[in-house]
Amino acid sequence: MKKTFLLCMILLLSLFVPSAQAATGHKGFSEIVLAEEGKLLAEITDAEIQAGYNALGRKFFGWKHYFFTYWEDATYKGEVIFAKSNRTGQPIEINYVLQEKEYTENSWKVKGSISGKVQGKIKKIDFALNADAEGEKKDTESFTRFEETKFKVLLEPNHRLVLQITGECTVTNGVSKHFLFGICSKKGVWEYVEVVTRYYELRTMEIEE
C-alpha cells in the first residue's frame, strides 16, 4: 500500500543556488559556449581590455562603449535548481512550482568604477535595435515570453531527483568610460548574459548507500 506525502514548494531559489561564482563569472551559469564569434569576458586578456579602453578615445560628456562581443548567440549550462532525496520506504509526491519572478534569468558582471546605473544605460542606448525609437512606442521585433514551470512527480524510495536548467542565451561584453567635461570620471569592463530559452531536464537516480 503506497503512502504519498504531498510536498508543496514555492521555491526561494537562493536556497538551492550554489553561492560560488562559476568559471563563467556569472552566478547560475556554470558553462557558456558561444555559437560562433566572440569571447567571454573570462577569456579576454588584460592586454585586450587595455586595447579596448584605448580604442574609446574621448568625449566631452557622457558614455563611450567598446564591444568585444556584441549580442552573440550562445548556449549555457545552468545550475541544479531543485533537488530532493527520498530516504523513506515509500514513494513521495513532489509538487514543484518555479515562479518566474523568483528567478533572475539575466546576468550582469561588472568590474571597475562603473556600476549600478551603467547597466540600464548600456542596455538602453546600445542594445536597442532601434536607437532612434527612444521616446516613442515601437513595435517589438521579438519578445521573450517565460511561463510558469511546474511538475508533479512520484519519487521512488531511496532515490534522488534533480531538475537542471540548460538553455540558449546572448552574450554582450565590452569596456565603457564615462566622461565629465572631457575627463574620464569612471570606467570599467562588463558582460551581459540574456537568457532566451530555458530547457529543463529531470533525472532521478538511486541513492548509493
Partner 1 sequence: MKKLILALSVFILAGAFLAFFLLKKDSGPVTFTTFPAAHGFLSPYQEKEEISFEIFFDRKSMFVEERTLNAAWIADENGENVLALTPVEIRKTENSFVHNGKTYQGYLFLFAGPKTDDGFLFELKDAHLFLEYKSGKEIKVPVGSFALEKIPAFGSEELYVSRLQGIVNELEGVKTLVGICLSLKNKTSEKIVIKAVEPVSSTVRGDAAGMMELGDEEIGPGTDIRELLPDYDPQLIATRKTELEIPPNGETRILLPLKYLQKLPTNTLAFRIEYECLGETQTCYFNEFTFFTGGRTVKDAINSLLFQTNEDD
Determine if 199 is a binding residue for partner 1 (CB under 8 A): yes
Q: Which stretch in 19-27, 118-126, 141-149, 180-188 sits in contact with partner 1 by CB under 8 A?
A: 141-149
Going by DSSP bridges, is the β-strand pair 149-155/92-98 parallel, antiparallel, or unpaired?
Answer: antiparallel
**Which one of the spans 24-32, 54-62, 78-86, 153-161 is the region binding partner 1 (CB under 8 A)?**
153-161
> Residue 149 interacts with partner 1 (CB under 8 A)?
yes
Among 139, 181, 182, 209, binds partner 1 (CB under 8 A): 139
**What's the CA gap between 96 and 85, in Å, rounded?**
14
Do 129 and 41 meet the contact criterion of CB atoms below 8 Å apart? no
- The answer to the question of residue 91 lying near partner 1 (CB under 8 A) is yes
- 195 makes contact with partner 1 (CB under 8 A): yes
Among the listed residues 3, 87, 124, 152, the single contact to partner 1 using CB under 8 A: 152
208 touches partner 1 (CB under 8 A): no
**Closest among 186, 170, 171 to 56, alpha carbons compared:** 186
DSSP state of 14: G
DSSP state of 101: G
- The count of other CB atoms within 10 Å of the CB of residue 74 is 22
Q: Candidates 48-56, 115-123, 171-179, 189-197: pick the segment binding partner 1 (CB under 8 A).
A: 189-197
- Tell me if 71 contacts partner 1 by CB under 8 A: no
What letter does residue 63 receive in the DSSP assignment?
A: E
